Amino acid sequence: MSPLYKLTYFATPGRAEAIRFLFSYAAVEFEDVRIAYEDWPALKNQTPFGFLPMLEHEGKKAHQSVAIMRYVAKQVKLAGNDDWEDLEIDATVDTLRDCSSKFHPLRLETDEEKKKALLEQLFKETVPYFMRRFEALVQKNNGYLALGRLTWADLYFVASIAAGVKQYTDIDIIKEYKTLAELRTKVLENPRIKKYLENQPKL
């Protein structure tokens, strides 16, 4: 039998990696379709909005990585147990996204000196502001970002935030924050995540 879920994205971690982590962690088989950039124009019009990743499930198609991840998390029981618990997870994930988005202006900056200044300011102000608060959350939540247990917020954090920032700099933004580094290690050393990372196609 073919897997119940089909996830289509490019052959990079990007916006699909956290969803791949989620399927892997939950030990749910999924079709991990990785397309070449030259095949994208032909596929674009078959997606809901012209964007990837795309999830296909029971004959339906959906897009938007975080929305897909929230949906899958509910199916594999890595979401909240009630609406308020889901709110706690959602708020944390959106705050992680806010933190990543602070790095986006670097994309448009072509002046190397200005880029350097922007990056310095990010590491002096933005990163400590967010990371200290995320650390406090993890300390309060038994080593996880929310609800005192592993949820999709933790997988999103590990798969996305460091990877997202890595587009702009090689600095490991988590390293200095012990509690967060421990959470990352815990996720990356999970046997199913390890197996996923070892078996994924080389770039």
Chain positions contacting its own copies, by CB under 8 A:
48-51, 57, 60, 62-64, 66-68, 70-71, 74-75, 83-84, 86-88, 90-91, 93-95, 101, 104-105, 108, 129, 133
Q: Name residues whose C-beta falls within 8 Å of residue 144's C-beta, 6 or more positions apart in sequence.
A: 138, 150, 151, 153, 154, 183
- Taking the complex as a whole, the smallest distance from the CB of residue 201 to its own copies amounts, in Å, to 27
Task: Closer to its own copies by CB, 138 or 193: give it.
Answer: 138
- Taking the complex as a whole, the smallest distance from the CB of residue 113 to its own copies amounts, in Å, to 15
Q: Under DSSP, is residue 108 helix (H, G, I), strand (E, B) or coil? A: helix
Task: Closer to its own copies by CB, 83 or 198: give it.
Answer: 83
Q: In angstroms, rounded to a whole number, what is the distance separating the alpha carbons of residues 150 and 143?
A: 9
Q: How many CA atoms lie within 13 A of 158 on its CB side?
A: 27
- Taking the complex as a whole, the smallest distance from the CB of residue 52 to its own copies amounts, in Å, to 13
Q: In angstroms, rounded to a whole number, what is the distance separating the alpha carbons of residues 183 and 181?
A: 5
Task: Closer to its own copies by CB, 64 or 179: give it.
Answer: 64
- Taking the complex as a whole, the smallest distance from the CB of residue 96 to its own copies amounts, in Å, to 10
Task: Closer to its own copies by CB, 122 or 193: give it.
Answer: 122
Q: In angstroms, rounded to a whole number, what is the distance separating the alpha carbons of residues 19 and 86?
A: 17
